[in-house]
Amino acid sequence: MSSTIVLIRHGITDWNCRGIRQGQANIPLNAQGRKQASQLAQELQDFDFTLCFSSPLSRALETAKIVLGNRDIPVIEDNLLVEQAYGLDEGTRPFVPFTHIPLPKEYNYQHRPERYQAPLGGESFEDLYARARLFLNSTLLPFTRKEEGTILIASHSAFLSAFENVLFDIPADQFWQLRLDTCGHAILKEENGNFSIIYQPQYKGNICQ
């Protein structure tokens, strides 16, 4: 049994452009994000998707629906796919881009993730790995073991990195090795529970217009 897995990160939002930490706050796509999703739909138009799993947060769910267009397939909202919780840090600024000066050592989120300490109410990277592993074992693999197909998974930056890290045994100190841009996508092949990367773009960072 083999399946194709297409991972997509949601399109850009106003909070992305302003450098505000979104986490599990339900922030919608902006006009640019919807345009990005439409462009991604064109890139993925030849994929014969059989099922979609999506984060229920509107920026991910709307991206998934734009990408799917008129395809008549189930879209299953799964809370395991929501973004990493930032607790008290959600809605705060600034969130320094990866390409800029590193954050202070006491924060570590982007540049020394193995040292990151989650704020009150937030998730550590260990928590996120555990949630990604739960989605893999309780949701994705039970489906792929029953039937072949092409599965779309719509989620968020940190969760998708954690998910691929779980698949390929990437530790927390290399957490951002497989990060997707806003509305970026990766293509994986799954065969009998083993995964390989077919397409994985290089991360460039948010580009706001």
Supply 58's token pair: 């509107």
Please tell me the pTM assigned to this model: 0.93
pLDDT, tens digit, for every residue of 158-196? Answer: 999 999 999 999 999 999 999 999 999 999 999 999 999
DSSP code at position 93: S
Please list the residues that pair with 107 across neighbouring strands. none
Q: How many residues does the chain have?
A: 209
Q: What is the rounded CA–CA span in Å between residue 47 and residue 196?
A: 18
User: For residue 172, which amino acid is it?
Assistant: A
Intra-chain end-to-end CA distance of the chain, in Å:
43
Q: What is the rounded CA–CA span in Å between residue 81 and residue 57?
A: 9
98: confidence class by pLDDT, cuts 50, 70, 90: very low
Q: In what order do the strands lie in the sheet with 185-191?
A: 75-77, 51-54, 149-155, 2-9, 185-191, 194-199
